[in-house]
Amino acid sequence: MSVLPHALNLFGVDRPTQQGGQYIFHLPRRAKAHVGLGCHRRVAYGRDGFVVSANGGSASIPCAGDPLNQMRSLLDPGFPSFWMISPDLGRAVHDPDLPLILCVQPELEVSIEGFGSHCGLEGALAAEPAEGWQCQPDEEFLERLARGIAILQDYPDGKMILTRSYQRETGSRDPLSLFAIFAGSEPTSACNHYFQVDAGVASLGCSPENVFEVHEGRLSFDVVAATRGKSDDPVTDARWREALRNDPKERREHLMAFDRYKARIENLVEPGSLNIEFQLEILELGNVRHLYSRASGALREDWDWMRILSDSFPALVSYPDALQPLADTQQDPLRYYGGILGRVSADGKDAAFYLNLRAALAKHGTLYTQGGVGVIAQSEPDKELLEVRNKLRGLFKAVAEWEGRPA
């Protein structure tokens, strides 16, 4: 059974779905999907506190401490939950129309399991990336990259996350159809999601990596860092693949991230249980490939998924801390890009959270996304710009095909 088409059929791929709170949470590497239908409870957190909607009514509740922990206390413990957490929660700039944290519990959740790890829908995209995106000019982004690399010369073990925003007018096209195209072209993603945030507002994406997963008492982390594009020419593609595996800068970038994750997971798992499942493997995605490592261990009894989630925010940061304000100079809201999305089972024993990357937000006829890179002292501006283009290529190709079909 192919998981993604079945999930889309349940959700209603042939008609626009406007009821807020419904979702598709698709895990291609596990050949599994969860489809949330209807909305039993919706808890939204903004600058003014919480709004809890259930049973046809709503209530406003002030924030009394850590909003993530308080969010959990406002949920119905007998239902699964789907989460979206914006990185703007920790920034001065945000979109006032969007909750900073949004958690929904469906009236009904249908779980689908397939066979094998790849459950694609349509395969590779033939369409070329669409023109017409509004973004910061390349020259300005290159200047930001050069400044960041110059600063990093004083931080040999540091890393800066630099992003630039993109947007595009799409009119009344159904974003669920875009998700079907995009997710179908990315059968090796860690998590593909479609979430109807509200009427006229939807989040969709194909994340390459988790923030963390807890399953049957075991905690696991993905480390996905260092990137190369892919070529249609087999000889060129093989050369690029080996270049990724052997390039000293790419290996250093990956191992810096891996060492940080390893140090963190060692504090979260039982002594002696840490297992490096694999290291410096190649993760093949639709339009790019990455170096990929994974670590896991038995979760300590004094930690649970909620404590790990609170400890994981923000998930995508520059380091050391002094570099964060120097890297994040954009005045645009990130919305949900670069934040955290995930699902928790009704019993709380199965929790899976992912970085919201390779993602877009469709909001009242406008599509928003971001392109970003992790820059270290050895980085080169031109190559980092190319990396942003490669990372966005899959989404842009999906948009071009989506707009090329009848509305």
Residue 117 reports pLDDT greater than 70: no
The CATH H-level superfamily of 3-123+135-217+299-404 is Anthranilate synthase (3.60.120.10)
Is pLDDT of 251 > 80?
A: yes
Q: Report pLDDT for 127.
A: 67
Q: Is the pLDDT of residue 16 over 60?
A: no
pLDDT for residue 240 is more than 60: yes
Global pTM?
0.94
Pick the closest to residue 351 from 223, 191, 216, 183 (CA basis): 216
Structure confidence at residue 13 (pLDDT) = 60
Q: Which of 81-90, 303-312, 326-335 has the lowest mean pLDDT?
A: 326-335
Tell me what the mean pLDDT of segment 328-357 comes to: 94
Of the pLDDT bands very low, low, confident and very high (cuts 50, 70, 90), residue 12 is confident
| Domain spans in the chain, listed from the N-terminal domain onward | 3-123+135-217+299-404
pLDDT of 149 over the 80 cut: yes
What is the biggest distance separating any 2 CA atoms in the chain, rounded to whole angstroms? 61
Per-residue pLDDT tens for 261-313? 999 999 999 999 999 999 999 999 988 999 999 999 999 999 999 999 999 99
Question: What's the chain's average pLDDT?
Answer: 92
Please give the full DSSP string across 329-391, using - where no structure is assigned: ---S--TTTTSEEEEE-TTSSEEEEEE--SEEEEETTEEEEEEEEEE-TT--HHHHHHHHHHH
| Burial (CB count <10 Å: 0-12, 13-18, 19+), residue 229 | middle
Q: Which residues contact residue 239 at a Cβ distance below 8 angstroms, ignoring those fewer than 6 apart?
A: none
Q: Please report, rounded to a whole number, the percentage of residues in the chain having pLDDT higher than 70.
A: 95
d(CA 275, CA 292): 15
